[in-house]
């Protein structure tokens, strides 16, 4: 199979070389400047740079009597390009920069080979941007080659009036024959051998600017539509595209489902997931009048997101003492939290279902001056309706799992009309920033995680005292925010620990409190003596496992337990927030699936301040070690706080970025 693919790629490369020769032979060629080929000969050996996807015709610039090599990646598809280059009398250097990817793509070896080739009087042809993007952003590798070799970089662009383009990351173009073929070259860029980091960055930007200018000029001289060759994410950032077929189908489908909305809400109300007294809010019907003056709308999905944005809401209100904040969420638990913790001039409503008419009712009533969404809870109809009303949009603490990133990149035509309408997006890390730029967001800033700057959940001192009195000197293990499928392993770990800790009390806090009854039934059927907190019971000496199926008490329970397993991580959910536990001085255990808080867990693991567990036996051994070794527990607590402190600062960055779109303070 591999041999067949190689044969096909080589045949394709020869066909590509033939096409390049035919385009040159059949086209009217223009050089800018007119003596471009002579200048390249005079500059030899040099580094000829172009943008990825725009390099097809550069082989024509080969003078024929000097040595030229092209840098070509090692992956299978590059065999086609490599074969074409060989057919056009161009040598090969295999390898490419890694960009943001960790795996080795032969970049270091290729850099050494490139420098040696230049020293051996061979010019180099290479693309300045690195797959898989972002496109039209020069990498530092080409700058390093110029510095180490002492040879200049010559930015070159080519364009034909007739061409095909494809929706790849770089907007790959295939030039067609019987065209006007234009080559544009810029001035050589020299990188001093003693260039420091600032100089290297300045030269990188100089190359980027020169290549963009050459590309614009080439398409203009060819009389070609440059937008057809511009990466789609950059087009979206310049001018948000209209909703495509996928979004239109989505909007139509949701509109058609409007009559079923009451039935859906009734079903959710029976399961405790909706508040029947506030059903109208889910249909876009406000329960209170709009306050006078500026109104900032902040949307958070549930409890975790609400906790994260509470300090942001305080900052928004402090920024303008005439503003009010409307907080919307979608869960009963978050509504209860909002009622207890929102400051004056802030109030809560439920987010309407994502049906166009409900979104219109909501926006027509509240008329927010700014709309701020949190993390990943974006509803297309609501977002697009707000954008149509010219409401400035922001997305803060933006989060995407690796799976979500892959899905969004595969369905960019669905995402770009939405993400390109945000005035500013604050992303938790650089990988998310990169994906959002790919989706056309024009202004993305890597800010870090707001949850690190958020205060820990509050402690009810009276409730804590009552629990301490009921538990006495028994050792306590907490399993927080567990999901279905994890509780059986926690119970098995509890059974193992009871061998060495016979009076151990395990507390399970299900992520969804409505699971309390079923969980209690399961545990009691397995021989555990389980008690539910929702039944107003306290754990007594006979209680093995205490089920805290209540709302808003996680801070109190963290203050009680010296060690906690953070749920959602033994199953492929992505994990829940470990930061709250750390801030309460609780040692953290997590399963392997914790990518929802990737940066926090990476910092904790590097500081040896958390334990990753996959089995009941590993949970038991880690917990016993912490409960029996006060020095180790203290070390973990101190190291964890220090590690997270290194990641703080997201709130200040977020507020600075939001300033331009927040209502301005006015004085009467």
The residues annotated as belonging to the active site are 305
Tokens of 118: 């230049």
Give ∠ CA 280-281-284 in degrees, rounded to 5.
Answer: 95
572-579 long-range contacts (CB < 8 A, ≥24 apart) are 573/483, 574/401, 575/601, 576/304, 576/480, 576/481, 576/511, 577/304, 577/451, 577/481, 578/604, 578/610, 579/449, 579/451, 579/452, 579/454, 579/644
Cα–Cα distance between 266 and 281 in angstroms, integer?
Answer: 14
Tokens of 602: 């990476």
Tokens of 72: 């070509």
Give which of 411, 401, 396, 397 is closest to 431, Cα–Cα: 401
CA 216 to chain centre: 31
Contact 476, 557 (CB under 8 A): no
Tokens of 537: 């019971």
Within the chain, what is the greatest distance between any pair of CA atoms? 92
Give which of 565, 568, 508, 562 is closest to 539, Cα–Cα: 508
Give which of 597, 506, 510, 654 is closest to 640, Cα–Cα: 597
The residues, ordered by sequence, that sit 6+ positions from 31 with a Cβ below 8 Å of its Cβ are: 37, 182, 183, 185
Give which of 125, 160, 131, 162 is closest to 145, Cα–Cα: 125
Contact 613, 589 (CB under 8 A): yes
Tokens 């949307």 correspond to 299
Q: 185: which strand partners?
A: 156
DSSP E strands: which ranges in 471-544? 476-482, 505-510, 530-532
């Amino acid at each position: 199979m591999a041999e067949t693919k190689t044969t096909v790629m080589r045949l394709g490369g020869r066909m590509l070389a033939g096409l390049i020769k035919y385009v040159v032979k059949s086209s009217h060629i223009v050089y800018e400047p007119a003596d471009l080929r002579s200048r390249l000969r005079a500059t030899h050996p040099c580094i000829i740079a172009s943008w990825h996807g725009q390099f097809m015709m550069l082989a024509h610039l080969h003078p024929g009597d000097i040595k030229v090599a092209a840098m070509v990646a090692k992956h299978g598809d590059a065999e086609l390009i490599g074969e074409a280059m060989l057919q056009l009398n161009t040598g090969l250097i295999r390898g490419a920069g890694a960009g943001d990817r960790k795996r080795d793509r032969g970049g270091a070896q290729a850099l050494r080979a490139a420098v040696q080739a230049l020293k051996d009087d061979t010019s180099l042809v290479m693309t300045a941007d690195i797959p898989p993007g972002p496109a039209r952003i020069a990498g530092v590798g080409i700058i390093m080659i110029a510095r180490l070799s002492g040879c200049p970089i010559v930015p070159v662009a080519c364009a034909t009036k007739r061409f095909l383009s494809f929706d790849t990351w770089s907007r790959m173009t295939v030039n067609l024959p019987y065209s006007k073929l234009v080559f544009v070259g810029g001035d050589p860029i020299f990188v001093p051998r003693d260039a420091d980091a600032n100089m290297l960055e300045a030269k990188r930007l100089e190359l980027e600017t020169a290549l963009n200018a050459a590309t614009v000029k080439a398409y203009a001289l060819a009389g070609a539509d440059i937008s057809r060759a511009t990466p789609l994410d950059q087009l979206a950032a310049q001018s948000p595209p209209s909703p495509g077929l996928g979004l239109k189908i989505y909007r139509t489908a949701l509109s058609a489902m409007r009559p079923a909305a009451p039935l859906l809400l009734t079903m959710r109300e029976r399961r405790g997931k909706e508040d029947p007294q506030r059903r109208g809010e889910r249909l876009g019907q406000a329960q209170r009048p709009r306050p006078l003056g500026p109104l900032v709308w902040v949307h958070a999905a549930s409890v975790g997101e609400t906790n994260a944005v509470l300090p942001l809401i305080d900052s928004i209100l402090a920024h303008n003492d005439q503003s009010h904040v409307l907080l919307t969420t979608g869960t009963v638990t978050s509504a209860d939290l909002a009622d207890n913790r929102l400051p004056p001039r802030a109030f809560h409503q439920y987010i309407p279902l994502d049906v166009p008419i409900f979104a219109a009712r909501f926006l027509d009533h509240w008329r927010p001056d700014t709309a701020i969404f949190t993390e990943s809870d974006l509803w297309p109809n609501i977002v697009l309706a707000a954008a149509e009303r010219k409401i400035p949009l922001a997305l803060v603490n933006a989060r995407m799992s690796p799976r979500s990133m892959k899905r969004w990149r595969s369905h960019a035509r669905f995402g770009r009309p939405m993400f390109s309408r945000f005035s500013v997006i604050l992303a938790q890390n650089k990988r998310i920033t990169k994906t959002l730029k790919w989706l056309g967001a024009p202004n993305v800033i890597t800010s870090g995680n707001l949850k690190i700057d958020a205060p820990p959940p509050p402690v009810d001192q009276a409730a804590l005292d009552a629990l301490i009195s009921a538990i006495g000197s028994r050792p306590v293990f907490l399993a927080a925010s567990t999901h279905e499928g994890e509780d059986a392993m926690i119970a098995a770990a509890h059974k193992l620990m009871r061998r060495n800790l016979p009076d151990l009390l395990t507390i399970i806090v299900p992520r969804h409190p409505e699971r309390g009854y079923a969980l209690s039934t399961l545990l009691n059927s397995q021989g555990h003596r389980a008690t539910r907190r929702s039944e107003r019971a306290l754990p007594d000496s006979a209680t093995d496992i205490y089920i805290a199926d209540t709302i808003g008490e996680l801070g109190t329970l963290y203050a009680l337990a010296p060690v906690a397993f953070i749920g959602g991580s033994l199953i492929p959910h992505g994990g829940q927030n470990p930061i709250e536990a750390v801030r309460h001085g609780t040692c953290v255990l997590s399963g392997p699936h914790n990518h929802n808080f990737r940066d926090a867990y990476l910092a904790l693991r590097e500081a040896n301040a958390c334990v990753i567990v996959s089995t009941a036996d590993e949970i038991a051994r880690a917990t016993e070690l912490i409960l029996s070794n006060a020095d180790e527990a203290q070390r973990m607590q101190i190291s964890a706080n220090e590690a997270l402190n290194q990641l703080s600062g997201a709130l200040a960055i977020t507020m600075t970025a939001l300033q331009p779109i927040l209502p301005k303070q006015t004085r009467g």
